[in-house]
Structure 1
Amino acid sequence: MTEHAATAQPRALILARALTFRAGLRVARLRHWLAGRLPPRARGRLAENVRAAELAGLAFAFRARAVAIVVVSLWLLVLVPWPRDLYYLSVAGLFFLLGYVPYRLRHHRRAGAIKLAFTVLDIALMTAAIIVPPPAGLGVDWPIQTRLRTPEFLYVLLLLGEAALTYWPVAVLWTGTWIAAIWSLGVWLVYGREDTTRFADAARDGRLSADASLKVFLDPTYVGLTPLWTQVIVTGLFTLLLAIAVWRGRGTMLAQVRSEVVRADLARYVSPDVADALAARAHAGFGAPQTRVVAVLFADVVGFTGMSEGLGPERAFALLRGFRERSCKVVFRHAGTLDKFLGDGFMATFGGLDGRGDGAARAMACAVDLQREVDAWNAKREARGAAPVRVAVGVHCGPVVIGNIGADQRVEFTVIGDVVNVASRLEAATRELGGRIVASECCLSAAGPEVAGRFTRTLPLTLRGRTQPIVVHVAE
């Protein structure tokens, strides 16, 4: 063994171990997905996305609150005479402030507890504004008991609507519970006043007649508990229904966020179209074998072994990573599936999942676009004194079997068929033909005129292992 080969072997071994380690990480990550579990990094992003959705819900709830305050304030200006409307407008301003403080503190680590505490203040303020008369000189001189006969209790229920916009079922249950408690306390305090008229007091000496009952009911100081029980029961039912609706909505939101996180994380290890299909049909037999007409593209860095001999493992790794990053960008730009990386090359397919019928045309456009990308990359490399990179491409299309293949411990979504072998050998034939792209006749016929114009030579070619030649086209 020569000294040159001996030094090259450890470098290649180090690079191979690095790639094997990355592949092992990929397998471990895919096992998590196939088992229905999220890897730790994905779980962290899931929590971040859920938190972002909750913050967006809090912000939206505050904006809805502000709109409701404006609408109610305008209605009060129409309904309430001057200057009593100033009193209620000041209450509306204070109510806005009680919502603004937790909104500003929504990024605080105890933002949830702050919001729940201010919800209690909201309910207390609104209950007091409804039950307690305005200061002397601003209100009409009616008994305080008459304030329980108006429908203003409905305004309190608006707080349940605000809580429902936060994606937080606990907030709905908390709000409904405190509405029932604080409103009941307010009504009970009025009911217990000495000047309050009650059916129990009026009927102390016997059963009331219908006329006597009506007289008690129409008394301005009368307060009954039946409306309170009705309000409490309706509030409880409304709270329960809203909490269930928010809980289901939160489940849908979590499913969507989880799907996006899985799809984004999975797309880092498989092609985006495969990630979409796998995320959408993970439990519906994804990858069942089927026959389709697919275009297959092979690309390879020419002379990478020789180039890596003069580079250290880190620089060889950087070169390979730069090639793969640019290759992924081009393949995905043309909606292709990156089937696998093959050392210093890769295999991509077109038309295997989308069924659009234009796989051959997209594969040809991808091949030309890849060479443009390599030319731009070489311009940067030459500017800093690095050697240019030459990439060979072979393209062929035809029927293949596409689907999952492998064992329980390792599953790969790929294509199988003679088309794959031909495309691989067309890529290898670029060396002897002196071209950058070699494409079969069926692929070139599907390409557009701009792409087809780049192919300058046409010739029959007998591939290794085949007896019949095929017509190929070569682009320099």
Structure 2
Amino acid sequence: MAENVRTAELAGLAFAFRARAVAIVVVSLWLLVLVPWPRDLYYLAVAALFFVLGTVPYALRRHRHAWAIKLVFTVLDVALMTAAIIVPPPAGLGVDWPIQTRLRTPEFLYLLLLLGEAALTYRPLAVLWTGTWIAAIWSLGVWLVYARADSVRFATVAHDGRLSAEASLRIFLDPAYVGLTPLWTQVIATGLFTLLLAIAVWRGRGLLLAQVRSEVVRADLARYVSPDVADALSARAHAGFGAPQTRVVAVLFADVVGFTGMSEDLGPERAFALLRGFRERSCKVVFRHAGTLDKFLGDGFMATFGGLDGRGDAAARAIACALDLQREIDAWNAKRTTRGAAPVRVAVGVHCGPVVIGNIGADQRVEFTVIGDVVNVASRLEAATRELNGRIVASDCCLAAAGPEAAAHFTRALPLTLRGRLQPIVVHVAE
């Protein structure tokens, strides 16, 4: 979970850097339109320096002290932008206006863009840190201008605290006038904006953590149940998941032929390795065809198709899975043969029809499975592969539902009376 959160934070830092770069480009283009030559070169140089300040923490985003580095460079960002707004360009590039006039322009709003960048990092602390330093450094810059000897202030002009409206307007329009009321407004607005944005980021981070937790739980759950069951359980946890219902599904049984005898020759450790290899390959094939791995049965397994997704191609996917499983076993046997190991033979039985699907068990332990005669027939078909000398035995109804493309892989068709049944059924055999 911590790794997933860190990945999201790194993605946020990368996105914030890209957003910063776009903002720099947009502002630079605006400066080219707004500022006359050659003063625009000065501000373009400031924009380039601002880009460099953003590149360093981005390049070090995987460093163990990456967040400390980012916070330090945030202070540098605020300081550079404040200086660029308040301090006039070098002699010969700027207009000969009093420095106090630079506090009357709306360029302070550019500082708030830094709050937007901080919000993209999924860290409320970054927003609070940025807003605090914006208020502090901007206040310091305004105070230094306010304290200049050539600055005009109401406090120094109105000794008794009373001025006529005409006199107040004359002082306000003086180019050297500096008032603290706009500063207080800027500081209060910045503080409120910072607080609201930090709360929004905190809530967004909470949603991120909840999503990550859900993914972790789903991933852990998928280790014990089929991934599609884990997905359905996560999505419908509060909607009565597992309520019994009747559906038409395809059921596949597969079993390692002669595993008991092989275990005697291999010994426990090698038999365990063989079984693990078979299960790993079986899971891969079943999930590749969007099947549900219902359960492992010793040296075999049971899989269903169409029980959760409601698609109409359950039989076709089950037959394709059976054929793909045999190809996977053939590839595995080729590797086993090169190292002198005995080949593995896997028998598969496939049938389809209506079943009851849902949760079954006690309150303390339930199992999501399918129940019905279709399950029994599929199991009997898998067992019949021995007497029919085939690798896959599928019922006629399943193969008909799968279509002619699937039927082309089966070489024989014959009636078969299954154990426990009176009437024979037509089955198809793939060797």
The superposition leaves residues 245-276 of structure 1 with CA deviations (integer Å, 9 ceiling, x where unpaired) of: 22232233333333333333333332221122
Aligned residue for 2:344?
A: 389
1:276 corresponds in structure 2 to: 231
What are the ranges of 5 or more consecutive residues in structure 2 without an aligned counterpart? none
Shift of 1:368: 2.0
Question: Paired residue for 1:264?
Answer: 219
Q: 1: CA distance between counterparts of 2:3 and 2:21?
A: 27
Cα offset, 1:351, TM superposition: 0.5
Matched, 1:300 2:250: no
Partner residue, 1:419 = 374
Task: Provide the secondary structure at the position in 2 that maps to 1:193.
Answer: coil
Tell me the TM-score normalized by structure 1: 0.86
User: Which residue of 2 is the match for residue 214 of structure 1?
Assistant: 169
Shift in Å, 1:80: 2.7
Counterpart in the other structure of 1:105: 60
Distance in 1, Cα, partners of 2:323 & 2:405: 10
- 2:409 maps to 1:462: no
SS in 2 for 1:179: helix
Match of 1:128 in 2: 83
Deviates most, 460-469 or 443-452 = 460-469
Q: How far, CA to CA, are the matches of 2:335 and 2:133 in structure 1?
A: 67
Select the residue among 174, 195, 204 that pairs with 1:249: 204
- 1:94 aligned onto 2:49: yes
SS at match of 2:414: strand
Which of 296, 299, 316 aligns to 1:361? It is: 316
SS at match of 1:455: coil
The whole-number CA distance in structure 2 between the counterparts of 1:206 and 1:228 is 20
For residues 83 and 337 of structure 2, the distance between their equivalents in structure 1, rounded to whole angstroms, comes to: 78
| Offset at residue 93 of structure 1 (A) | 2.7
1:189 aligns with 2:144: yes
* CA deviation after TM superposition for structure 1 residue 217, in Å: 0.9
CA offsets 1:426-455 (integer angstroms, 9 cap, x no match): 111222222222222211111222321233
Q: SS of 1:166's equivalent?
A: coil
Find 1:153's aligned residue among 108, 111, 118. Answer: 108
Shift of 1:99: 1.6
Contact 2:243 2:358 in 1 (8 A): yes
Runs (4 or more) in structure 1 with deviation over 4 Å come to none
Query: CA-to-partner distance for each residue in 1:7-59, whole Å, 9 max, x for gaps?
Result: xxxxxxxxxxxxxxxxxxxxxxxxxxxxxxxxxxxxxxx11111111112112
Per-residue deviation at 1:206?
5.6
**TM-superposed deviation, 1:311:** 0.6
In structure 2, what is the equivalent of residue 402 of structure 1? 357
| Aligned equivalents of 1:357, 1:134: Cα separation in 2 | 72
Map residues 428-439 of structure 1 onto 2, 5 A cutoff: 428-439=383-394
Task: Judge conservation of contact 2:155–2:161 (CA < 8 Å) in 1.
Answer: no
Aligned partner of 1:341 in structure 2 is: 296
Paired residues, number: 431
8 A contact 1:368–1:451 mirrored in 2 = no
- SS of residue matched to 1:156: helix
Q: Percentage identity across aligned positions?
A: 90
Q: Which residue of 2 aligns with 1:7?
A: none
Write the letter of the residue equivalent to 2:385: T
CA deviation vs aligned residue, 1:112-166 (integer Å, no higher than 9, x gap): 1111121112111211221122233332222211110111101111111111111
AA aligned to 1:444 is: L
Gaps of 5+ in 1: 1-45
Structure 2 residue 10 is matched with structure 1 residue 55: yes
Kindly provide the amino acid, as one letter, of the partner of residue 115 in structure 1: K
The CA distance in 2 between the partners of 1:218 and 1:425, in whole Å, is 98
Distance 1:201 1:334, change over 3 A: same
The one-letter code sitting in structure 1 at the alignment partner of 2:369 is: T
- Counterpart residue number, 2:327: 372
SS at structure 1 position matched to 2:248: strand
The aligned amino acid for 1:393 is V
Q: 1:293 and 1:206, CA in 2 relative to 1: closer, same or farther beyond 3 A?
A: closer
3-state secondary structure, aligned to 1:412: strand
1:204 equivalent among 150, 159, 169? 159
Shift of 1:73: 2.6
The separation in 1 between residues aligned to 2:171 and 2:181, in whole angstroms, is 14
1:142-192: CA deviations, max 9, x gaps? 221111011110111111111111111111111111111211122122222
Paired residue for 2:127, among 167, 172, 180? 172
Q: Conserved in 1, the CA contact under 8 Å of 2:293 and 2:301?
A: yes
The one-letter code sitting in structure 2 at the alignment partner of 1:470 is I
Q: CA RMSD in A?
A: 1.9
> For the Cα contact (< 8 Å) 2:313–2:402, is it kept in 1?
no
Asked if residue 452 in structure 1 is aligned to residue 407 in structure 2, the reply is yes
- Equivalent residue for 2:242, pick from 276, 287, 291: 287
CA distance in 2, matches of 1:199, 1:335: 78
Q: Which amino acid aligns with 1:245?
A: A
- Cα distance between partner residues in 2 of 1:449 and 1:377: 28
* 8 A contact 1:293–1:398 mirrored in 2: yes
